[in-house]
Amino acid sequence: MIVLTRADDRLIHGLVAVAWTSHLAPETILVANDAAAADEFKKNSLKLAKPAGVKLFVKSVEKAAAALNNPVNDNKKIFLVTQTVEDAKRVYDLLDDAHKFTRLNIGTAGVNKKPGETYVAIIPQVYTTAEELEAARALNAAGVTVFGQANPTLESADFAAIERAFK
């Protein structure tokens, strides 16, 4: 069972490893990212960043969805982390109806801004692009609760507030 899906361009870092993991108490963190899954150095770095007592798997988007669709994982508390909202939507689209996630947290995505991309501040520490807004809009229309929040103790923005930031 996916307890939360988070789009965070840094994947696992202090906020994820400490604040969100403490808040959610997952058994497993599943990183769904094609580039990280193909990079041994990145995988090892993510393993060093994960909290003790929590399992970590780094898989491509397709392999992450396959793992989430496997009934053996139905009773496990899984924290799904993607680098972008688009990747979260890709995972969602590959999930069986029984395994689809219901909440997407747009985290500190956009903190590491890519040259040439336009980012809009949603709330402090949370930025997103028009492309990510489109993916979030599709997930919201599918019934996913989409919200922006850097960590569980700070303010959050619901999907309506995210859309308003683009007007």
Q: What pTM was computed for the model? A: 0.94
> Which residues does the annotation mark as catalytic?
13
Homologous superfamily of domain range 2-165: Phosphotransferase system, sorbose subfamily IIB component (3.40.35.10)
> In Å, what is the CA distance from 145 to each residue of 4, 111, 136?
10, 22, 9
Question: What is the per-residue pLDDT across 9-34, written as a single tens digit (0 to 9) for each?
Answer: 999 988 888 999 999 999 999 999 99
Is the pLDDT confidence value at 43 over 90?
yes
Is the pLDDT confidence value at 96 over 80?
yes
Yes or no: say if 150 and 143 are a contact pair by the CB < 8 Å rule. no
Question: What is the per-residue pLDDT across 105-125, written as a single tens digit (0 to 9) for each?
Answer: 999 866 666 677 788 889 888
